[in-house]
Structure 1
Amino acid sequence: MAEPILELRNVTRTFGGVRATDDVSLAFMPGEIVGLIGPNGAGKTTLVNLISGFLPVSSGEIRYEGRSIVRQAPHQIARAGIARTFQIVQPFAQMTVLENVMAGSIFAGALGLKAARAKAVEALEFVRLAPFMDMPASELALANRKRLELAKSLAMNPRVLMLDEVNAGLNSSEITEALGMIRAIAERGITIIVIEHLIRVVAELAERAVVLHHGAVLSEGPVDSVLKDPRVVEAYLGNRFARRFAG
């Protein structure tokens, strides 16, 4: 049986007396797509920040490929193979689209300029932004800024990719296109953790769902089972959505 590529053991993060994550234990397998959902303030982004090293854990263990990463800096974690996007897209506005993606590949891979450029072009072609590579990033529309964020993460050559609200602000057709790209990434064997408010995205994309509530895991398992869990309906979805999903 395959071992988890990423494992959280009793991970807790406190801010003063508030537990942003509360004794979270999860395992992520190679190549799977997991939806991480929950109401605002549930601890989703905090969990991503803990895994990626932007925040230290207060207690507990995070293991990647069998080794602890709790004391590693963000650049060390990125170079090991864990990449993430950010909920608020903030590209380097005065740099070109290509230069933005090159920065990601250099940061994560310690590559020279030639290798970083080749990696960046490959990522931009995948997300269909290659025609815009010489444009200042500040001129991109929102949908293309989201693609730029994805390209920056792909250029880091990840084995685990955490997508934080990557579909927020997109229209229906843009979301459909984004889902196709995410599936294609997973087909490369990359583990994807999708942090989402859009239940449609999780229902269509993920094999497994994890629901956080007040920093703790409320429910975990196959998506259809989780979305019908009475605790999830009460805490997050509401009966109206539950009836629609069941139908």
Structure 2
Amino acid sequence: MDLFWKRVSVGICVLASALLYIPILFYYGVIEIHNPKLGNITGYQCYKLPGTPDQLKGLKVFQGVGFFITICNVVVISALYIIITVSIVKQVRKMKSIHVKPAESSGMSSDATAMSDVSKPQKFTSVATESSEVLETSVNSVSQLEPRKQKKTPKSDAKRNAFRVSFMFMTISFVGFLAYLPSWSFIVIETNNPTFWKKLSTTALHVCLTLRRMYMLNHFANPFIYGVFDVAFRQEIRKLFCVK
């Protein structure tokens, strides 16, 4: 993908996120609250705005759509990551087969060469002795070079890269599920019990609000997870934001 289209895709994501969360400005705001336990003391709180029954139905629809979108988001991303991981594993297996076949063919060719050298008639004993010595030295040199070639083959690197990418995708899916699970739970609770937040104590309210907004942790953690596991991602981020 070209750098221009990468920037366009980022802009589309920002625009889509803004459009999805614009209805919050119409359904939530600062309202005046009264505490009957403290007399005539009033205060202000960010809460659902009072409205007509139609507006309250629209709020429930908005919450339902958000609930459905977040579940689809986690499921689709997890499914795509599984598909990518499977394709990477298949690619690594193909690389293994490609590296094994040339090794086998080279072994067969060396054996054939040795057999052809042995099958040739030798006229002089000295020549036969020299040829056998050359053959032995060539075999010894090949046997010494084989482990070096095995060390230089990218099999271990391919396995390591495949494991790193698979672990990265599993981490992203696991973090996303844990981050959205409390939010899903509170959406169901507050939809069925509109007075749920009003009955909570101050400490319980702050704890529940933190859990309710834990989905932000998923969006915050994803770039760092990609950056930790993928060096190319860090380089592309620098290019995207013109950082040298």
TM-score (norm 2): 0.23
When you count strand as a share of all residues, which structure comes out higher?
Answer: 1
Q: Which has the higher contact order (CA 8 A, sep 6+)?
A: 1
TM-score (norm 1): 0.23
